[in-house]
Amino acid sequence: MSELSGYRLMWLVALFDLPVRTKAERREATLYRKRLLEQGFSMAQLSVYMKFCRDKEQSEIIIRKLSQDVPEGGRVDILMITDRQYAGIVTVRDNERVRRKNPSQLSLF
């Protein structure tokens, strides 16, 4: 088994813009968000979801699946970042830096 490395462990960040003008489009957008949650993503912001992956191979599998589910007229950008890069994210709320609490490894595996 390979050693855990902050350069091997990955985070997927799904950023999306989905059409929501009609009732049917809103329903499809809601279903897409639900599929992200079913895949283990957590909502960071309304159209930004994040998921931890053990490696690039697992990330690629998830990206292929998500690519098949994009509603017509929607745009989804998926960033793949290492755990080391994720650790460098700066969060600011109400003009103050917020210290993020990373999930424990036990909750990730």
25-83 confidence digits (pLDDT tens): 999 999 999 999 999 999 999 999 999 999 999 999 999 999 999 999 999 999 999 98
Domains and CATH numbers, the chain: 10-102 (3.30.70.240)
Give the 3-state secondary structure of residue 61.
Answer: helix
76-108 confidence digits (pLDDT tens): 999 999 988 988 888 898 999 987 765 544 444
Rounded Cα–Cα distance for residues 18 and 25 (Å):
8
pLDDT at position 101, please?
66
Which are the contacts of 44, defined by CB distance < 8 A and separation ≥ 6? 13, 50
Q: How many degrees, rounded to 5, is the angle at CA 103 between CA 38 and CA 28?
A: 25
Q: Is the pLDDT of residue 5 over 50?
A: yes
> What's the pTM?
0.80
Give the 3-state secondary structure of residue 6.
Answer: coil
Average pLDDT over residues 5-13: 82
pLDDT at position 107, please?
47
pLDDT at position 1, please?
46
